[in-house]
Structure formats: structure tokens, C-alpha cells
């Protein structure tokens, strides 16, 4: 007997817009206890509707749900890169690129709980670079 695939196979249901959409339309989450299939329950379109790229209060809860660390300097780098063309700077633009960046080798083993550690590590690197550049303690502070 042939294996007939359901027309709903591979679709995920968005709890906000109440639509079934392909898996690619949902952000992943490392929190497998809360999201056993590894995907958030709200689609990318809905979750990014109210993201203000300049206001961390609008996107850090999403990063927490995805269980990825928040490293402000990494977010800022993406903002600087994509802010050159404001027409391409939507709530999903930076959020999606940031989440993709957090899956790169240097970040993939870190989670939301590691955010403070990564920020301190980044600050330490900046301080060391400033010392090597001959900056005084007052300038560094």
C-alpha cells in the first residue's frame, strides 16, 4: 500500500493568526522542554509585528523564548549593517539575522542564561583592546 502524505504534513499552526504554515515560517527554539518540536508556536510574521529594533524590551522576550543569548554588541552590528537601507529594516530583518547568527559556531552552545556572561566577556575584550591602544583608566571607564 503506498504511503500517502497528508496535505497538512510539515505544517505548523500559529496560535496568533490561527493559520497553518510551513515549518520555515516559524523561528526555532532551543527550549525543547517548552517547544518539543523546536519551533515557537507563533509564526515569524506575527511574532515580529511589534518588534522595534531600537527597543530591547520588544525583542528580548522573543530571544528568551528562543533560548538564545542576548549580546547587545551583536544586535548593534546588525543594526549598523542594515540601517543603511531603512526600507529593508523591519522587525523581522534584524531578529531573523540575529537568530541565525546565534546558531553560528561561536554562539551555538550558549543559551539565554549565558547573556550576562557573554556581555561581560565582550566588555572585557573591549577593555583589553583599549588598554593595548594606550587608553587611560579614566578613558576606559
Task: State how far Cα 50 lies from the chain centre.
Answer: 15
pLDDT at 10: 76
User: For the chain, what are the domain ranges?
Assistant: 48-113
Residue 19: pLDDT above 90? yes
Q: Which of 11-25, 49-63, 109-123, 127-141 has the lowest mean pLDDT?
A: 127-141
Helices (H), 26-103: 44-47, 56-66, 72-82, 91-101
Per the CB < 8 A criterion, the answer to whether 50 and 40 are in contact is no
88-136 pLDDT, tens digit per residue, is 777 778 999 999 999 999 899 999 999 998 888 877 766 666 566 666 6
pTM as predicted: 0.78
Write the DSSP symbol of residue 66: H
Ranked by mean pLDDT, which of 69-73, 77-81, 121-125 comes out on top?
A: 69-73
pLDDT at 5: 42
Give the pLDDT band (50/70/90) at residue 82: confident
- Alpha-carbon distances of 46 from 2, 107, 118, 123, rounded to whole Å: 37, 26, 29, 34
The C-alpha atoms of residue 130 and residue 93 are separated, in whole angstroms, by 32
Amino acid at each position: 500500500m503506498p504511503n500517502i502524505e497528508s496535505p497538512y504534513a510539515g505544517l505548523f499552526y500559529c496560535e496568533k493568526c490561527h493559520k497553518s504554515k510551513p515549518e520555515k515560517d516559524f523561528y526555532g527554539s532551543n527550549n525543547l522542554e517548552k517547544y518539543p518540536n523546536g519551533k515557537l508556536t507563533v509564526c515569524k510574521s506575527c511574532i515580529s509585528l511589534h518588534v522595534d529594533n531600537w527597543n530591547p524590551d520588544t525583542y528580548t522576550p522573543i530571544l528568551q523564548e528562543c533560548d538564545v543569548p542576548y549580546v547587545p554588541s551583536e544586535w548593534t552590528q546588525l543594526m549598523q549593517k542594515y540601517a543603511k537601507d531603512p526600507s529593508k529594516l523591519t522587525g523581522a530583518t534584524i531578529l531573523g539575522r540575529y537568530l541565525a547568527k546565534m546558531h553560528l559556531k561561536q554562539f551555538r552552545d550558549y543559551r539565554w542564561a549565558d547573556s550576562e556572561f557573554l556581555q561581560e566577556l565582550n566588555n572585557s575584550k573591549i577593555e583589553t583592546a583599549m588598554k593595548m591602544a594606550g587608553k587611560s583608566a579614566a578613558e576606559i571607564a
